[in-house]
Amino acid sequence: LRCVTTRANGLPAVAAYVRRAGDPAWTALAMDVLRIEEGTIAEILTFGPDVFAAFGLAPTLEAEREPGA
């Protein structure tokens, strides 16, 4: 997984991307929005990749070059 931190409605969120073996890029997987109460995670709301565009997130991320490639 590759994760990108962001915010959703003022709450902290993490956008997760997945890259399967042989794929040329990371593909949007899910966004987790965290509700924090008294310093602890009280709730995690998970959304599918269809919400990425609404938060200005790309549907794919370029894969980094492997060392020695």
Q: Which long-range contacts (CB under 8 A, 24 or more apart) does 33-41 make?
A: 33/8, 33/9, 35/11, 36/11, 36/12
pLDDT computed for residue 66 by the predictor: 54
What one-letter code names the amino acid at 22? G
Residue 54's alpha-carbon distances to 6, 50, 57, 65, in angstroms, are 12, 8, 7, 29
Q: At 11, which amino acid appears?
A: L
* Residue 18 contacts residue 25 (beta carbons within 8 Å): no
Q: What is the average pLDDT score of the chain?
A: 92
Mean pLDDT of 27-50: 97
The pLDDT confidence band at residue 56, using thresholds 50, 70 and 90, is very high
Question: Which of the residue ranges 33-37, 43-47, 49-53, 59-63 would you say has the lowest mean pLDDT?
Answer: 59-63
Residue type, 30: A
